[in-house]
């Protein structure tokens, strides 16, 4: 973790900050290794301090003791201790996570006497390139998701409720070692599949349905993200045609993914093909997003994505076509950009599966 704090201090210096106050679980985990809630991490030019209460001090010492001073403090004394350290270190400008800190917290921190400077984007960008260790965790998370898809196809059957499908899938993922779902599992059968983020409900899988399944596993705090669309029995030729268009769009984008391409350019490769086939208006979301300790991170592959992809950046590639009142199709893999191209973490079959 010490090398991450070194990079953080360099970013603080660039921004003219004397300290950075970390409050989100993600930032605290990334820069200190501590994985529980109810903590603050204050990084100054010379000190790294983690404040938490009695419930977590043993854990904090084990996880973050090599890079942070661990201070046990509870209740209102937590803020008083922060104020004391900020005063002792003569901190004048503090970077804070403006998307995490509540208004009440902001008012309390502002009373410390130092200037509060929004710093959330800079913190997130420090995580944009994944290390080999992070990549290994991401691959393990996706391998579990791959295996879960194969296992689910053995148990899912016509007449099963969407909600039951989601429960079965999450149970399988847990048995395989997932720390939990990466996000709320999406199961959209038949016309429900036309809703990009369908919430699993009571609808039963029926003969002729296409079923959109979007889910992920977690390993060591790192998320995977995969979508597969499968068929219930025999589907009509139109559904198969749409499936093949989406698969070809994804294949073209995956083939183009490499250092130097921008998110906008990658998005256009899939989007232009779908538009060429006459379904551009049915692909209304972006092509993909970064992932790591959060399921949605920078960079973005979208019509406005101007980030130039570099080695170590992650990105999902997930084109889709959604036909209202009929069905949806989405196919998604999660990848990391490599020196010469990309590593696709996902290996689950993309041949249309029929149950």
Average pLDDT over residues 49-71: 96
Average pLDDT over residues 137-157: 98
Average pLDDT over residues 148-156: 98
pLDDT beyond 80 at 1: no
pLDDT beyond 90 at 193: yes
CATH 3.90.230.10 in the chain: give the residue spans: 132-344
79-88 tens-digit pLDDT: 999 999 999 9
pLDDT at 345: 98
Looking at the structure, give the CATH architecture of the domain made up of residues 2-125: 3-Layer(aba) Sandwich (3.40)
Helices assigned H by DSSP within 100-221 = 103-110, 120-125, 132-155, 162-175
Cβ distance 320 to 328 under 8 Å? yes
The average confidence (pLDDT) of the chain is 97
pLDDT beyond 90 at 164: yes
**What does CATH list as the number for 132-344?**
3.90.230.10
Percent of the chain with pLDDT over 90: 98
Cβ distance 224 to 198 under 8 Å? no
CATH 3.40.350.10 in the chain: give the residue spans: 2-125
What's the rounded Cα separation, in Å, for the pair 51 and 131?
27
Helices assigned H by DSSP within the chain = 2-15, 25-32, 57-64, 77-88, 103-110, 120-125, 132-155, 162-175, 237-256, 263-276
Neighbours of 114 (CB within 10 A): 21
12-38 tens-digit pLDDT: 999 999 999 999 999 999 999 999 989
Nearest one of 56, 63, 6 to 34, comparing CA atoms: 63
pLDDT class for 2, splitting at 50, 70, 90?
Answer: confident
What's the rounded Cα separation, in Å, for the pair 267 and 171?
34
pLDDT beyond 90 at 46: yes
Strand partners, 316: 334
Average pLDDT over residues 214-220: 98
Q: Is the dihedral of CA 304, 322, 156, 350 positive or negative?
A: negative
272-318 tens-digit pLDDT: 999 999 999 999 999 999 999 999 999 999 999 999 999 999 999 99
Q: How far is CA 103 from CA 99, 107, 110, 240, 345, in A?
A: 10, 6, 10, 51, 40
224-266 tens-digit pLDDT: 999 999 999 999 999 999 999 999 999 999 999 999 999 999 9
Average pLDDT over residues 216-224: 98
Average pLDDT over residues 312-338: 98
pLDDT at 37: 84
100-133 tens-digit pLDDT: 999 999 999 999 999 999 999 999 999 999 999 9
Burial tier of 182 (Cβ tally within 10 Å: 0-12, 13-18, 19+): buried
DSSP assignment, residue 16? T
Neighbours of 115 (CB within 10 A): 14
């Amino acid at each position: 973790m010490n090398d991450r704090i070194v990079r953080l201090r360099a970013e603080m210096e660039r921004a003219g900050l004397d300290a950075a106050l970390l409050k989100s679980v993600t930032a605290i985990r990334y820069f200190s290794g501590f994985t529980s809630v109810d903590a603050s991490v204050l990084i100054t030019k010379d000190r790294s301090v983690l404040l938490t209460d009695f419930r977590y001090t043993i854990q904090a010492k084990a996880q973050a003791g090599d890079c942070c001073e661990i201070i046990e403090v509870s209740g209102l004394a937590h803020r008083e201790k922060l104020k004391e350290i900020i005063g002792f270190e003569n901190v004048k400008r503090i970077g804070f996570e403006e998307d995490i800190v509540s208004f009440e917290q902001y008012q309390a921190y502002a009373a410390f006497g130092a200037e509060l400077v929004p710093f959330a984007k800079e913190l997130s960008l420090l995580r944009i390139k994944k290390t080999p260790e992070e990549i290994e965790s991401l691959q393990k998370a996706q391998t579990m998701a791959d295996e879960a898809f194969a296992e689910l196809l053995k148990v899912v059957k016509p007449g099963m409720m969407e909600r039951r499908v989601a429960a079965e899938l999450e149970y399988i993922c847990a048995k395989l070692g997932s720390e939990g779902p990466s996000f709320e599992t999406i199961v959209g059968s038949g016309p429900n599949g036309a809703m990009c983020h369908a919430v699993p409900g009571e609808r039963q899988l029926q003969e002729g349905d296409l079923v959109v399944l979007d889910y992920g596993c977690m390993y060591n705090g790192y998320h995977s993200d995969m979508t597969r669309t499968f068929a219930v029995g025999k589907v009509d030729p139109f559904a198969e045609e749409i499936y093949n268009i989406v698969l070809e769009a994804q294949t073209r984008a995956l083939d183009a993914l490499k250092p130097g391409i921008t998110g906008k350019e990658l998005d256009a490769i899939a989007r232009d093909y779908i538009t060429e086939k006459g379904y551009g208006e049915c692909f209304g979301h972006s092509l993909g997003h970064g992932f790591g300790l959060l399921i949605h991170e920078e960079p973005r592959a979208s019509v406005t994505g101007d980030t130039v992809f570099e080695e170590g950046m992650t990105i999902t590639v997930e084109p889709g076509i959604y036909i209202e009142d009929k069905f949806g199709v989405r196919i998604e893999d999660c990848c990391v950009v490599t020196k010469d191209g990309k590593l696709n973490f996902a290996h689950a079959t993309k041949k249309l599966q029929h149950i």
